[in-house]
Amino acid sequence: MNTTFKSPENCETMAEVRAGVDATDRALIDLLATRFGFMRAAARIKPERSHVRDEERKAAVIKAAMDEALNKGVPVGLIAEFWENLVETSIAYEMEEWDRIRS
């Protein structure tokens, strides 16, 4: 992530806060683009559409995010909800890609 902005602890103005938030949002989008690239790879690799949804893997991914949130002092419940949405969106995207690749 670009560090040309102040850390949250060192912000003194809303302009500094907003610069940090905007830079963080850009970095998050870059990371999400990478994550969705992995969803495209999974769609290409998985031999059957029924393999796209894996509830055991979904639970493990959400649990890992919650554990990391706890370690970082981030609200665990909010992260659980966010990751539930992220994983479901990823599954839907992967299914679309699976169908697109094989059409």
For residue 98, the Cα-to-chain-centroid distance in whole angstroms is 20
Domain count, the chain: 1
Residue 88 within a domain: yes
Question: Block means of pLDDT (10 residues each) for the chain, length 103 residues?
Answer: 82 98 98 98 98 98 98 98 98 98 95
How many Å separate Cα 71 from the centre of its chain? Answer: 17
pLDDT value at position 4?
85
Written in H, E and C, the secondary structure of 35-94 is HHHHHHHHHHHCCCHHHCCCHHHHHHHHHHHHHHHHHHCCCHHHHHHHHHHHHHHHHHHH
With respect to residue 89, please indicate whether it lies within any of the assigned structural domains. Answer: yes
Classify 21 as helix, strand or coil.
helix
Residue 2 lies in a domain: no
pLDDT for the residue numbered 93: 98
Domain presence at residue 1: no
| Structural domain includes residue 86 | yes
Q: Name the residue range of residue 93's domain.
A: 13-101
Contact 70, 83 (CB under 8 A): no
CATH of the domain at 66: 1.20.59.10
Task: Evaluate whether residue 95 is within a structural domain.
Answer: yes
